[in-house]
Chains A and B, each alone.
Chain A
Amino acid sequence: MRKTAKKGAALSADAVPAKKSFLQRNRKEIVAYALLAFPLIWFTIFFVVGFVRGFIYSLTDYDLRFSELRGINFNNFKNYIDLFTDSRVWNGLKVSVIWTAVMLVGNNVLGLLMAVLINSLHRGKGGFLAALYWPTLVSAAVSTQITLYFFRPTADGVMNIVIGLFGHEPIAWLETEDTALLSLMLQPFFLGFSMKMMIYYAGIKGIPRLYYESASLETNSRWHLFWYITLPLLAPVVFLNVILSVIDGLKVLAPMQLITPDNPYTESLVYYLYGEAFTKTKIGYASAIAFFLFAIIMLLTILQNFAKKKEVSYE
């Protein structure tokens, strides 16, 4: 505004440049924000307000059952202090971390292996990608039913028949301390690599052929090409996949909630949080656990970004 006024003054003393109405001057902004009004408002309500409210509640004793009686009161970070001495929080964290570590290794190693193998084919790439990617569309409810069918405690359960071939007695897979979490992890460990495979494959496609052509003058070994070209150039994709594995892994809920409800040996952190919030209605405490998890994930994301700066560059 001030600029136009100055220009106008410079051109001629009695010019009338700033006489446009507010609507005319800000037409672009008005049109843009009118179109963005619904998404902005909706997003603010369901994301921003939700986030801020969650944080405020995490500082209070909010409990749905008692809030009408005694209101919602700030309680001097009691929730955050309590969660550090709550053995179920640490047990939940332990379960979530075990799950995360197992999936991180299994899915990334197999995902990368599958991507490299498919990329080395001359034809049939699309076919194998399609044939290995479909399990991402299997819902939690479907895999719950199938896991329950495979790990039946009776002698005619599929897994019990398998171990029976080796002369082992039937096991109550989903109830026993040693086998409960193992049973939940078996299938996703070996077969949950589809998404990672696809991201690795996209990453490998993005590596210029030039690098391989010049390197093939030096060596004939596929292993050397993988170790000295593919893997270093894929480092950013590996970082991305690792951080995605960690974030997804620490949030694990569905298998624990649906396949082994109320089993302390498989109670992940988010499943504990879920129970505190919706079974016990302790909104304040559950929100504090959610923000505790949020802090861990933020910390790991920052560390990942820090590590990313040290990555190899062949440019």
Chain B
Amino acid sequence: MTSLNEFLQHLVNTLVLGGTYALLGIGLTLIFGIMNVVNFTHGILYTFGAYIMFVVVQKFGLNFFLALPVAVVVGWLLGAVIELILLRPLRGSDIDTTMLVMIGAWIAMQSATLWIWGGVAKSVPAPFPEEPLVLGAVSVSWLRLFVLVAAALLIVLTYLLINRTKLGCAMRATFQDRDTASLMGVNVDLVYTSTFAIGSSLAAAAGALLGPVYVVYPEMGDLASVKAFAIVILGGLGNITGAVIGGFILALAEELGAGYVSSGYRDAMGFLIIIAVLIFKPTGLFPRAERVG
């Protein structure tokens, strides 16, 4: 009986972790899919999101629930600035060049976080009761439950943005065929900036949600970047539903790997998934290359 309970507990943890992974993955799959940029700043935006949470809650003593929208907005602005300064002048250069510029930006920004806040891990206090919510055999802390709900809400909002708004329509058109979309009157520059901003705000949101669950430190985004790539590869480029499913698959693999194999190899799961998928099914598990959505 206990082994079953243990398994159920792993599933609950998977749900919580998978929600934030899905956010990370959606952000990156939009940027990678629409702009064809291998975005290494994704992880640092995740780190920034967590630090914004820390600053707003700890330093300014503001409400925990107010800090989350602040993180999303700051992530959005940072993303827009990165796109305007670094990517717009390089429009048309090859993917290696933009990737290296993103690596340069990542190094500079990560060192900036280290400079500003120091290397000591910070924790963000959350206004939730200490006792976890017990549902039969499994228990989940209120904070993690909040993370799951908030992540789900953001995923739904993004889905609506892509599929129900004019901007989303322009993004989908640009993904299909940039030149034709441009001929049809789509402002491709605006689409690119918006895509990068939206993707970055989702990464910041993921960091803001997971920051209080774990601790906040400057290198926390490094693994997040690569995990986001794993999710994008699993789900197929530009496929939002695929990214959500990929996020949950990665979370499940990590939970089960840590629970039943060895906790030291938790982070290896994502990489093994990447290698396996790219060897056996390079188009991702859910290829739908024709559209974003």
State yes or no: do A and B come from one complex. no
Q: What is B's interface to A at a CB cutoff of 8 Å?
A: none
Q: What is A's interface to B at a CB cutoff of 8 Å?
A: none
